[in-house]
Structure 1
């Protein structure tokens, strides 16, 4: 599997990454999925301290420990669980980040994190303080690089201007093309985008029609329009899964597509789609059949 450089760092990530949130808690099931990902050439694994109150990090750390020197391990911080309830509050303060990194390191069974990401962000945060925290962790060798996971343009622009982030995680797919407004600017700034939701909850796989009938609507697409659009995309290329992946990867700003899987067969399907040829003309046609859109909120 091909790799791309994360921003201007020296980190090389596989063009298909693995989103660990969907891992089952049963150890043997999860082991089989991780083994399938590693054997397919995936080296980029993304989790967060938010997922299952840290238990996802514990599972990922245990399963990836034998492969630690050969994988890029990414996690996120900023969502603070109430230990006595299901309540989560936002906390992007420097003391909290400096504290929480040690909990993530312990759960992940590692002494450094390759990519530590702010799991959200608001324009009302003390952004300078947050950046200070990440820079301190980088200086201390506890993280190699840092980034943010956000779809808020005003937050993204602040971090592009003020920080040394290497990556921005954004939802991006043929059915949610809003990031395209900013991709060129992000690339020119020497940063990369890692995507989530690039298969649009399975709508952009070969099961797309069946899923659309259950979903009803998605993003800017109402029920009938969604089904019509998916049918049109399937007419462009017989493998919608492949068309979806390559339409995202054609963008130079994209470093990796972070895709989830709840079984080894789903990993295999994604890798097979990734290895399927899609022409530039087919991608161009797919883009002409879908909406670009733009973010309506958090612009100022």
Structure 2
């Protein structure tokens, strides 16, 4: 599988990454999914301390321990579980970040994290303090690089201007083209990579189409619009190939994107996603048709 450089780092990530949240807590099944990813040439595994009360990090670390030096582990911080574990709260304080990283390392069973990401964030956060925490963790050798997971334009701009982030994880798909207007051009200009999530728009951009369509619609699209647009997209650009191929290739067509993170609940799903990423890139004409049929929506909040 092809790899792309992550920002200005020396990390080269596979064009498809495994979103580990979906592997579940049954270790045998999770291991099969992760092993299938390795067999397909995936070297980028994304988890978070939030997933399954940290159990996800344990499972991922255990499954990858024998190939540690060949793979890239990304995890996230900022969501703090309550003492009774009934819920969590947002805590982006320097003290918590520096405490949480050690817990993640212990659960993962590793000495360093390749990419440590702030798991959300608002403009009201103590951003200078957060950046200081990440920079200290780098200097101390606990992490190699850091990034943020955010779709908020004001937050993204703040980190672009004041930090050495190498990546921004954000939702991006044919049905969610909000990053195209401002985020992707800005990040590419600054040499910061985008790692995308939600490329299949909750299954709407799979061959199941409207089977996955909620009655309330999806983002700027109401149900009737989805009924009209999805079959048209299928006819115009996915008649001779799977919709999954088209959806993943649309993300990869943007040179700001380093990797597309897709979850999988079975080895077969991993293999299908990998085949989609290896498939023929979209032509300029196909991309143009997709843009004509869909909305160039923009971020309306967090300006």
TM-score interval, normalised by the smaller of the two chains:
over 0.9
SS state at 1:101 partner: helix
SS state at 1:291 partner: coil
Structure-2 residue corresponding to 1:206? 207
5+ long unaligned stretches in structure 1? none
> Given that residues 197 and 259 in structure 1 are in contact (C-alpha distance below 8 angstroms), is that contact kept between their aligned partners in structure 2?
yes
CA–CA distance in structure 1, aligned partners of residues 25 and 87 of structure 2: 21
Deviates more, 1:268-277 or 1:143-152: 268-277
Query: CA offset at residue 271 of structure 1?
Result: 1.4
Structure-2 residue corresponding to 1:290? 294
Deviates more, 1:234-243 or 1:112-121: 234-243
Structure 1 residues 21 and 162: CA distance shift in structure 2, 3 A: same
Structure-1 residue corresponding to 2:261? 258
> Given that residues 237 and 282 in structure 1 are in contact (C-alpha distance below 8 angstroms), is that contact kept between their aligned partners in structure 2?
no
SS state at 2:4 partner: strand
Question: For residues 86-114 of structure 1, what are the alpha-carbon distances to aligned partners after superposition, in whole Å with 9 as ceiling and x for unaligned?
Answer: 22111111111011100000000100000
Residue correspondences, number: 298
Query: What are the within-5 Å matches in structure 2 for residues 1-300 of structure 1?
Result: 1-181=1-181, 182-212=183-213, 216-235=216-235, 236-238=237-239, 239-277=242-280, 278-299=282-303
Query: CA offset at residue 205 of structure 1?
Result: 1.2
Query: CA offset at residue 179 of structure 1?
Result: 0.7
CA–CA distance in structure 2, aligned partners of residues 275 and 252 of structure 1: 16
Query: CA offset at residue 240 of structure 1?
Result: 1.2
> Given that residues 24 and 56 in structure 2 are in contact (C-alpha distance below 8 angstroms), is that contact kept between their aligned partners in structure 1?
no
SS state at 1:206 partner: coil
Question: For residues 214-256 of structure 1, what are the alpha-carbon distances to aligned partners after superposition, in whole Å with 9 as ceiling and x for unaligned?
Answer: 5651111111111221111111222211111111111111010
Please tell me the root mean square deviation across aligned C-alpha atoms, in Å: 1.1
Structure 2-normalised TM-score? 0.96
Structure 1 residues 231 and 216: CA distance shift in structure 2, 3 A: farther
> Given that residues 243 and 283 in structure 1 are in contact (C-alpha distance below 8 angstroms), is that contact kept between their aligned partners in structure 2?
no
> Given that residues 7 and 166 in structure 1 are in contact (C-alpha distance below 8 angstroms), is that contact kept between their aligned partners in structure 2?
yes
5+ long unaligned stretches in structure 2? none
CA–CA distance in structure 1, aligned partners of residues 297 and 158 of structure 2: 22
Deviates more, 1:142-151 or 1:216-225: 216-225
> Given that residues 17 and 44 in structure 1 are in contact (C-alpha distance below 8 angstroms), is that contact kept between their aligned partners in structure 2?
yes
CA–CA distance in structure 2, aligned partners of residues 207 and 67 of structure 1: 35
SS state at 1:200 partner: coil
CA–CA distance in structure 1, aligned partners of residues 275 and 39 of structure 2: 13
CA–CA distance in structure 1, aligned partners of residues 227 and 116 of structure 2: 38
Query: CA offset at residue 282 of structure 1?
Result: 1.3
> Given that residues 25 and 52 in structure 2 are in contact (C-alpha distance below 8 angstroms), is that contact kept between their aligned partners in structure 1?
no
> Given that residues 118 and 147 in structure 1 are in contact (C-alpha distance below 8 angstroms), is that contact kept between their aligned partners in structure 2?
yes
SS state at 2:202 partner: helix
SS state at 1:202 partner: coil
CA–CA distance in structure 2, aligned partners of residues 192 and 63 of structure 1: 27
